[in-house]
Amino acid sequence: MPCRTFEGCHHSWRSCAIHYQVRIQTGAASHANLGLAMSVYVDSAIHRLRDRLMCHMFSPDLDELHAMADRIGIDRRWFQDPSTMRVSWPHYDIDSARRSHAVQLGAVVCDKYQTVAMAAIIQGNPNKLRRMHKLADLSRAFAPAAHIPAWLAREGFPQPWLWPHAD
């Protein structure tokens, strides 16, 4: 679900909330005036594809994602686009050498819970984040995703309404 707050913005609903807040606070008239620091992410899941080890590279900002792909030498035709393919979120499959190059250029390495959280944000699926709340609840004996709320806030995704027990 793309942002509708600023004309020409192609960010997901995450940025829409931030744009709305910034627009109210500063009167910013365009996405370019916001100065938001978006990031490109790579997951820790390494899968074998033929003779290569592959992972995903993704971002809520498709322009940044494509720019990183250009910088590490990935052809745009390898972009996995949910509007034209049977994939659930926009990303590139990259090999381990390009993953290392992307990390050197500033891509953020994500564990499996961080990847699921980012996929939910990119897909515009807040319910998926709400379901992750159980895995992040420190009052439970098993909370493998306890680091996710703080990590999302550090990455610039402040959404306290998704974490009902955190104030």
Segment 15-39, tens digit of pLDDT: 444 443 333 333 333 334 344 455 8
Task: Classify the C-alpha dihedral 147-148-154-158 as positive or negative.
Answer: negative
What would the two tokens of residue 146 be?
A: 């306890």
Give percent helix, percent strand, percent coil of the chain, each to the nearest 5: 45, 15, 45
Q: Report if residue 141 sits inside a domain.
A: yes
Q: Report if residue 113 sits inside a domain.
A: no
Cβ neighbours of residue 86 closer than 8 Å, sequence gap 6 or more = none
CA distance 12 to 15: 6
Segment 60-94, tens digit of pLDDT: 899 999 999 999 999 999 999 999 999 988 999 99
Number of domains observed in the structure of the chain: 3
Q: Report if residue 54 sits inside a domain.
A: yes
The letter for the amino acid at 156 is G
Most confident of 28-37, 114-123, 143-152: 114-123
Q: Which domain does 139 fall in, by range? A: 119-162
Same domain for 47 and 5: no
Question: With a threshold of 0.75, does the pTM exceed it?
Answer: no
CA distance 70 to 62: 12
Q: Report if residue 75 sits inside a domain.
A: yes
Most confident of 27-31, 114-118, 160-164: 114-118
pLDDT at 123: 85
CA distance 98 to 55: 10
Same domain for 49 and 23: no
